[in-house]
Amino acid sequence: MLSRTELLRGDFLHVFRDQVRLPDGATAQREYVVHPGAVMVVPLLSVSDRAAQIVLERQYRYPVRRTIIEFPAGKIDSGEDTWVCAQRELREETGYIASEWARAGVLHPVVAYSTEFIEVWFARGLSAGERQLDAGEFLDVFSASSEQLMDWCRTGEVTDAKTMVGALWLQNWLHGAWALDWRAVQSEGGGA
């Protein structure tokens, strides 16, 4: 990096323009968003014979001006452990608390212009409770089969990248191709 200019400091996003040197010696500008990172949860209500019943959400997303089907997800608070964030987001958005968790992996949804990463978690042993939505957060929680989710990904009803990655993980886990290392929760919100 040769120089950096701050373009925007919002409540949520921070945008920069850097002047950089390219491998061939030329210079170029790179504009990008600094994002604190997020988690996404694949909540399993039940699993049997290579299929699962899962928890999803419908939420209107202003930038694309449409209601999106997606897995529960949310931004990591400053200094927050990603597993603790996953537990918090699942509880706040859906009301569910899980007795077992497994970290699947991480994805970078928009590497061309953002530092954002999303850590993917699976949750099972769900117990229903009350949601605790953030102010201004409106979403519908519903359940669907893994087959329905895969069909919605195929037909374009699901277009959210993180949810499509979650569906890929789910399908591979259900078919025994990808393993998950499950861990039990010892206390609410506190990890193992």
Separation of alpha carbons 83 and 151, rounded Å: 29
According to the model, what pLDDT value does residue 133 have? Answer: 87
Q: How far apart are CA 151 and CA 145, in angstroms?
A: 10
Fold (CATH) for 36-177? Nucleoside Triphosphate Pyrophosphohydrolase (3.90.79)
Query: Where do you find CATH 3.90.79.10 in the chain?
Result: 36-177
CA angle, 174 as apex, 172 and 177 as ends, to 5°? 40
Q: Using the structure block, give the residue that is written with the tokens 């499950």.
A: 182
The values of phi and psi at residue 9, to 5°, are -125, 100
What pLDDT is recorded for position 156?
Answer: 97
What are 51-66's pLDDT values in tens digits? 999 999 999 999 999 9
Model pLDDT, residue 191: 52
User: Residue 79 — left, alpha, or beta (φ > 0 → left; ψ -120 to 50 → alpha)?
Assistant: left
Q: What string of pLDDT tens digits covers the 192 residues of the chain?
A: 999 999 999 988 899 999 999 999 999 999 999 999 999 999 999 999 899 999 999 999 999 999 999 999 999 999 999 999 999 999 999 999 999 999 999 999 999 999 999 999 999 999 999 998 888 889 999 999 999 999 999 999 999 999 999 999 999 999 999 999 999 987 654 454
Write the CA distances from 29 to 1, 5, 10, 83, integer angstroms.
10, 10, 21, 36
pLDDT confidence of residue 136 = 85
pTM for the whole structure: 0.92
Q: How high is the pLDDT of residue 135?
A: 86
**Per the structure block, which two tokens stand in for 143?**
């359940």
